Amino acid sequence: MTLWHIVLIASALCLTLKVAGYYVPASVVESPGIARSANTLTVGLLAALVAVQTLAVGQNLTLDARFPALLLAGTLYALRVPFIVVVIAAGALAAGGRALLGWA
């Protein structure tokens, strides 16, 4: 499979999901169990991505400059700082730590 296959297949499936929702009657999601599961699935995937993006290098776990950057990001989100400012600050901390303090 090439990168093009991945991009096209994933895009087609995501678009299909969006359109398919308009063909499903609203009564299907009135079950609170389904709505709750959909929400915890989204949250679980995002949390897992945070963990992997912070700690993984291939299949190895490592603590490097990404970890203090993530702590900074969490602090700034808690202070209601806008997304774009937070990601720039996180990137700047990691870059600065690597350049000036020898962080991995």
83-102 residues in contact with another protein (CB under 8 A) are 83-84, 86-88, 90-96, 98-99
Q: Which of residues 31-50 bind another protein (CB under 8 A)?
A: 32-33, 35-50
Q: Using the rule CB under 8 A, which residue among 23, 79, 101, 102 binds another protein? A: 23
- Could you say which DSSP state residue 1 is in? -
User: Distance between CA 95 and CA 67 in Å, rounded?
Assistant: 12
2 in contact with another protein (CB under 8 A) = yes
**DSSP category for residue 16:** H
Binder of another protein out of 54, 63, 79, 100 (CB under 8 A): 54
Asked whether the beta carbons of 65 and 103 are under 8 A apart, the reply is: yes
Distance from chain centroid for Cα 91: 15
Shortest Cβ 67–another protein spacing (Å): 9
- Asked if 63 interacts with another protein (CB under 8 A), we say no
